[in-house]
Every structure is written in C-alpha cells, then in structure tokens.
Amino acid sequence: MTTTARRADGTNAQNAEYTAANIQVLEGLEAVRRRPGMYIGSTDQRGLHHLIYEIVDNAVDEAMAGFCDRVEVLIQPDGSVSIQDNGRGIPVDRHEKTGLSALETVLTVLHAGGKFGGGGYKVSGGLHGVGASVVNALSEELTAEVAKDGALYRQSYQRGAPTGSLEKVRGEKPEQNGTRISFKPDSEIFETLDYDFATLAARFREMAYLTKGLWIQFIDLRGDGQEQNFYFDSGIEAYVRHVNRGRNPLHADPIVIQGERDNISIEVALQYNGSFSESVHSFANCINTIDGGSHMTGFRSALTRALNDYARRAKLLKDDDPNLSGDDVREGLSAVISVKLPEPQFEGQTKTRLGSPEVKGLVDSLVAASLNTYLDENPAVGRRIIEKALTASRAREAARKARDLVQRKGVLEGSMLPGKLADCSESNPEYSEIYLVEGESAGGSAKSARDRRTQAILPLRGKILNVEKARLDKMLAHEEIRVLITALGTGFGDDFDIAKLRYGKVIIMTDADVDGAHIRTLLLTFFYRFMPELIDHGHLYIAQPPLYSAQQGRNVTWLYSDAEREAFFSVERKNVNMQRYKGLGEMNPDQLWTTTMDPATRSLLKVEVNDAERADDLFTKLMGDEVPPRKSFIMTHALSATLDV
Ligand code: 0RA
C-alpha cells in the first residue's frame, strides 16, 4: 500500500519509508484513543482541562523562549476551544525523519513536540509533555493554522487523522506570525465537555505570573460569556503580593532574587506577613512542583542559614542563643520559587517533585548571597523578620511543652500496663490491692511473697522526684510517676477519675530506715498534691514491716517499734537472737508475707488527712527548698504528724 502525502510546497511525496512511518503514526494515535487515561490521566473534567493546558503550554514555551507575548484562549459555545499565540508559528517545512511537514509531525507523532527544528525550546513546560498529538487524537476535529513569513497555512484532522493536506490559504497575507490550534474534544472519549472557568482561569493566572510580560486573554463564550486577562509586569513578585493580599505584609515590597547559571534560570520572590502559616509555591518550567524538590531544598537551606547569619551579625541572636530553626524562619513566609532548566527531571508518583540535583546548590548559593546583601542594605526589614522568627521560636517551645504533656497524658490513659507491674488476677478493686515497693530487690521479695490473686506489686526505682517543687509537666516527665499513674488507672490532672482506680488499697511499702521514710513522704506528698481523692476515699495505706525479729528456739516474735522491743525485754528472756531489719530485701518471702503482707496478720496504717491545712503546711515545710534539715525532720515527725494511726 502506498499513501500520498501532499507536502507544504504542494508537491506529492510517495515512498515506502513514508508509508511505514505513517502506519506507525496511526497506530500510535489509536493507542491514545484506546487508553486515554495513560496520556492525560482521566477522561473527566480534569482530563478535559488537560487538553487545553497541553496546547497553552506549547504557546507559553514559545513565550518563555522570548518569541511570543500574547496567548488567547477562547471557548466556543459548542465546547470547542481555540488557542492562539503570536509566536514564530509552528514550522511547516518538511521534517527529515517522517517526510511530513513539521506541523503534521507535531500533531500526529507522539512526543514529537518541541523536539524538532534547530531553534527548539530552551526550556519546555507541559504537565506531562504528552504533546499536541495526544490532543489531536482525542479531538473530534482539530484545525491548525500557522501564520508564517507572510502566508497562512492550514490543516485539519479528525480524531488524529488528517482530513487533507497542509494547505497554503489563498489570499491571506497575515502581518504577524503565530499559531492557532482549534479543537473539539471527542464526546465519545470524554464524560463531559463542561469546562470550569475558574479552574482554567486560576491556571492561566499562574502561568502569567511565571512568565512575566506575557498577556493571557481568556474568553469563554458559553452562557452569558466571561473574560479574564492576565498580565504581570513584575511576574512572581506580583504573585507574592497576590498571595499576601489581606495578610498584613511585614515589609512593603517582596524581596526579589534572580539569576542564571549553567543555563538554569532562577527566580525567587518572598515576603513575610503577620500570619503564622507558610505559603511557599515552587515551580520548575512553570509546572507546579507541589512536592517541592531540589529547588525547594536549596531555598530552605539558604533562607535558614542567611537569616541566622544576619541575626548573629546584627546581634539579634546572642552568642549562646540557639539557632532559629527552619520552621521558625518560615512562619508567615510567602514565597514563589521558579526555576527554568533545559531537561528537568520530575520524580514521585505524580511527577510533582523536581529531581535535578544540580539545582539545589545553585538555588542555595544564589539565595543566600542575595539575602545577605538585601538584609545588610535593609536592616529595618531584617530586624522585623528576625523578631518574627524569634517569636515563632518561643511559641514553638511553649507548644512543644504543652504537646509533650498531652502526649504523655495519652500514654497514661492507654490500656498498656507498665512492664514492671506484677499485676494480680483479681480485677474487682474491692478485693485487690497494690503494693508500691521501694527498690528492685524488695520488689522481688514482695513478688515471691504475695498472694498473686489479690495483690499487685509495683517496684519503684530510686527516689521519685520532689513533687512539691515540680510543676505538672515536669512531674510527668518522671518515668516513675508515669508508671505509677498508669498502674493505678485513674488518669491524672483534669482527667483524674477515682472510679477508674484499679485497686481498692494502695499500699506504700518502704524500708524502715531514713531513705524509706523519705520515699514514703515523697509518695505521700504526690498523692496529697495530685490525687487527694485517693486519701479522701480512704484508699491509701502504709505497710508496717517489723523493725526487729526476736528468735527463741523455734519461736519468732516480730517487733514493730522500739516500744515493742522494750516491752519484749521487760520480762526475763534467755538465748534470744535479735535481728534488726533494715530493708525489706533482708526478709525472705515467707517472712515478708507473715509480717507485712498477709491480710490476716499484718497491720496497715490508713492515711487520713484530717486537717488538710496542717498537712499542706507540713508538706511544704518538708519539701521546701531548705534541704539539710529535711531528713531528720521527716524521720522524727512526718508520719506521726500526718497520719491518724
Ligand atoms: C519550534 C520552532 C519554531 C516554532 C515553534 C517551535 C513553535 C511551536 C509552537 C506551539 C504553539 N505555538 C508555537 N509557536 C512556535 C520556529 C522555527 C522557525 O524559526 O521557523
């Protein structure tokens, strides 16, 4: 089979090479029609908009290359769209490889756009760069008109296939070069032909900001008709002003940074406002890189460094102050970063992050150097920005503390019981009790000694902190306290709920020595201060281990105080083996059970606060800042003073 193609100059070309190429072309376009989603994402309104973007991008590329300053987008009442620019006009001469005109190649060969012609693009946009051929394949009808060198050329297509050859329109002598592509999306492919004016307008606005000096006219002839024009002399500087409108800018004019190196153009505009949010938009070749990438990374690093350097130079940060963080310097920041480069690499699932690693260092060094200069020349602005960042830093520190508190509370409310807790099997608090035991070794003894059905053991390591002086948040930073609260199950602070107490008796069991007394007092203080209900409802107890054992043959007598000891020796005793117990760990589990833990034989002190005021006063005295007299005072007075024995 041979196919006849009429060339732009009106002659016919017949050859096998062309035939093979043409079959490939038709197969390519057929593939697009079979699986449109692969090329434009979807066939809903988004996909529909994508067709327009694709063609407008090509015109904007021509503008970025400096050959075009006007783009008109026109939606007709029947849903067809035409996009016209005043660029050089798509070339119409014969394309080497395909034997077709360059225009037909662009419109029928997948991915051909921008890759032909010696004067191709320096940079190329396009959302996915699928090219005009995809738009052509998905259009019922498409007509391309090119005004070039005083002549007008035209060619039409249906669903991607040319309906005739490229013709030179007789009698037309256009004075200006340019391109107009008009197409009607295929209703067999698209679920809707209903464009959204506002969505399209927002995109055109963005493109106009990013291509300073480009005029985009958008006319919608459907319904009552609408028109919007976008033109920004100052490009992204105007973009930043737009973002900051109504946001109370901290300085009158955006800071503008521009430069070009290694064929990569970099433009940054930034302006702080009174808000707390960050609004930084980054683009690579006019594509909105919503996931950032190397240009964003370079910018952030430069901003943080330059502002810290300036703050130190200007003595707004003292030598021993920590640096401002990235988050601090970006609070209330509005910025636009736009880079243009020959072959951008996009990464990520949606290709919305710029890879191109070489961009990072270029942006970083340009932004840092420019900011340094700007801040030195505009110290009043510099001071305002640094003061804002310092405020952000302080607020962040306060928020962090509050958040820590909340998070810890979350831990306390969780269902996870601490690992150190040897719980009992009884879950009814009426029948269960928990021993708070000082030290691991005593804890071990108590675990062996206990009735595991009703008695839980929680060993507490070392000295719990001095709760009288500690604030709520500091106290919760203490592991032992968190473990204790979790084991009790009541929650804490505002969330305290006595009904959730997991044990009817909370028993403090400490050594009968100075340290034991100290820890006991600390625990009492904690409960008194932070869980007074526990005392009010009569849940808090103190275990009474013996001080001495007196062994006579097989008889062992346990003596719980010096008074008992004296009474014991007030009668004649022979061959008594007296032992003083210093620590709970010195008793074997059997002994601990019979003397201290067996409900049938033990004695417990119930903690009662009869006179709250007096107790409060005492605790304050005990736990105040004067350390030296404290220990002896605790030993001699604490228990008797606060406890109703
Ligand atoms: C490459 C080279 C030349 C023009 C274009 C591309 C071009 C493409 C589009 C797409 C939409 N509008 C456009 N305008 C121009 C010009 C080569 C020459 O100087 O002839």
CB of 129 sitting under 6 A from ligand 1: no
Q: Mean of the pLDDT values across residues 361-377?
A: 98
Q: Are residues 97 and 61 in the same domain?
A: yes
Q: Mean of the pLDDT values across residues 440-444?
A: 85
CB of 59 sitting under 6 A from ligand 1: yes
Q: Are residues 431 and 387 in the same domain?
A: no
Q: Are residues 386 and 344 in the same domain?
A: yes
Pocket test for ligand 1, best of 62, 85, 95, 116 (most atoms within 8 A of CB): 62
Q: How far is CA 406 from CA 395, 472, 482, 491, 565, in A?
A: 16, 11, 13, 12, 51
Indicate the residue among 164, 198, 230 that finishes a domain.
230
- 384 belongs to a structural domain: yes
CB of 58 sitting under 6 A from ligand 1: yes
- 268: domain CATH number is 3.30.230.10
**Residue 564 neighbours by CB distance under 10 Å:** 16
- 550 belongs to a structural domain: no
Q: Are residues 191 and 258 in the same domain?
A: no
CB of 119 sitting under 6 A from ligand 1: yes
Q: Mean of the pLDDT values across residues 562-590?
A: 84
Nearest-CA residue for atom 9 of ligand 1: 90
Q: Are residues 41 and 184 in the same domain?
A: yes
H helical segments located in 354-465 = 358-377, 379-413, 440-449
pLDDT-based confidence at residue 188 (cuts at 50, 70, 90): very high
Helix (H) or strand (E) holding 354: strand 353-354
d(CA 197, CA 220): 7
CB of 72 sitting under 6 A from ligand 1: no
The CA 8 to ligand 1 mean position distance, Å, reads 16
- 457: domain CATH number is 3.40.50.670
Residue with tokens 């302080």: 394
Indicate the residue among 191, 215, 230 that finishes a domain.
230
* 259, two tokens: 């430069």
- Strand 279-284 to strand 333-340: parallel, antiparallel, or no bridges (unpaired)? parallel
d(CA 139, CA 50): 13
Where does residue 505 rank: exposed (0-12), middle (13-18), buried (19+ CB within 10 A)?
buried
Closest CA to 638 of 371, 25, 86, 623: 623
* 105, two tokens: 């190649």
Q: Are residues 478 and 495 in the same domain?
A: yes
Q: Are residues 278 and 310 in the same domain?
A: yes
Where does residue 149 rank: exposed (0-12), middle (13-18), buried (19+ CB within 10 A)?
exposed
Among 330-334, 350-354, 638-642, whose mean pLDDT is lowest? 638-642
Q: What is the pLDDT of residues 88-119, one digit of tens each?
A: 999 999 988 778 999 999 999 987 654 433 33
- 571 belongs to a structural domain: no
Nearest-CA residue for atom 8 of ligand 1: 90
pLDDT-based confidence at residue 81 (cuts at 50, 70, 90): very high
pLDDT at 238: 97
CB of 88 sitting under 6 A from ligand 1: yes
Which residues is 335 bridged to in the sheet?
270, 280
Among 147-161, 194-208, 430-444, whose mean pLDDT is lowest? 430-444
pLDDT at 411: 56
Q: Which atom of ligand 1 is nearest to the CA of 148?
A: 20
Among 67-71, 241-245, 525-529, whose mean pLDDT is lowest? 525-529
Q: Are residues 502 and 619 in the same domain?
A: yes
Pocket test for ligand 1, best of 92, 136, 179, 211 (most atoms within 8 A of CB): 179
Q: Are residues 345 and 273 in the same domain?
A: yes
pLDDT at 321: 92
pLDDT at 475: 66
pLDDT at 403: 56
Pocket test for ligand 1, best of 64, 67, 88, 143 (most atoms within 8 A of CB): 88
> Is the predicted pLDDT of residue 420 greater than 90, yes or no?
no
Better-scored residue on pLDDT, 293 or 15: 293
Nearest-CA residue for atom 14 of ligand 1: 89
Handedness of CA 619, 623, 629, 631 (dihedral sign): positive
- 578 belongs to a structural domain: no
- 58 belongs to a structural domain: yes
pLDDT-based confidence at residue 375 (cuts at 50, 70, 90): very high
**Residue 89 neighbours by CB distance under 10 Å:** 25
Domain of 85 in residue numbering reads as 33-230
pLDDT at 519: 80
Contacts of 433 (CB under 8 A, 6+ apart): 424, 454, 455, 456, 503, 504, 505, 506, 507
Into how many domains does the chain fold?
3
Q: What is the mean pLDDT of the chain?
A: 85
The CA 262 to ligand 1 mean position distance, Å, reads 24
- 44 belongs to a structural domain: yes
Q: Mean of the pLDDT values across residues 173-200?
A: 97
Q: Mean of the pLDDT values across residues 62-91?
A: 96
CB of 55 sitting under 6 A from ligand 1: no
pLDDT at 415: 57
pLDDT at 474: 62
The CA 67 to ligand 1 mean position distance, Å, reads 9
Contacts of 563 (CB under 8 A, 6+ apart): none
List strand residue ranges (DSSP E) for 111-188, in order: 139-148, 151-158, 161-162, 167-168, 178-185
Better-scored residue on pLDDT, 321 or 493: 321
pLDDT at 119: 36
CB of 62 sitting under 6 A from ligand 1: yes
- 122: domain CATH number is 3.30.565.10
pLDDT at 635: 35
pTM greater than 0.75: no
Percentage of the chain modeled with pLDDT above 70: 83
Instruction: Write out 277-304 in H/E/C secondary structure.
Output: CCEEEEEECCEECCCCEHHHHHHHHHHH
The residues annotated with a catalytic role in the active site are 438, 511, 513, 515
CB of 438 sitting under 6 A from ligand 1: no
The CA 123 to ligand 1 mean position distance, Å, reads 13
Better-scored residue on pLDDT, 14 or 208: 208
pLDDT at 170: 95
- 289 belongs to a structural domain: yes
- 13 belongs to a structural domain: no
Q: Are residues 149 and 281 in the same domain?
A: no
Q: Are residues 63 and 175 in the same domain?
A: yes
Among 324-328, 446-450, 530-534, whose mean pLDDT is lowest? 530-534
d(CA 81, CA 135): 11
Among 118-122, 297-301, 360-364, whose mean pLDDT is lowest? 118-122
Nearest-CA residue for atom 7 of ligand 1: 90
| Contact criterion met (CB below 8 Å) for 101 and 166 | yes
The CA 84 to ligand 1 mean position distance, Å, reads 12
Q: Are residues 243 and 226 in the same domain?
A: no
> Is the predicted pLDDT of residue 622 greater than 90, yes or no?
no
Q: Which atom of ligand 1 is nearest to the CA of 178?
A: 14
Indicate the residue among 176, 196, 230 that finishes a domain.
230
Q: Mean of the pLDDT values across residues 318-325?
A: 94
> Is the predicted pLDDT of residue 128 greater than 50, yes or no?
no
CB of 203 sitting under 6 A from ligand 1: no
**Residue 400 neighbours by CB distance under 10 Å:** 10
CB of 91 sitting under 6 A from ligand 1: yes
Q: What is the pLDDT of residues 593-602, one digit of tens each?
A: 999 999 998 9
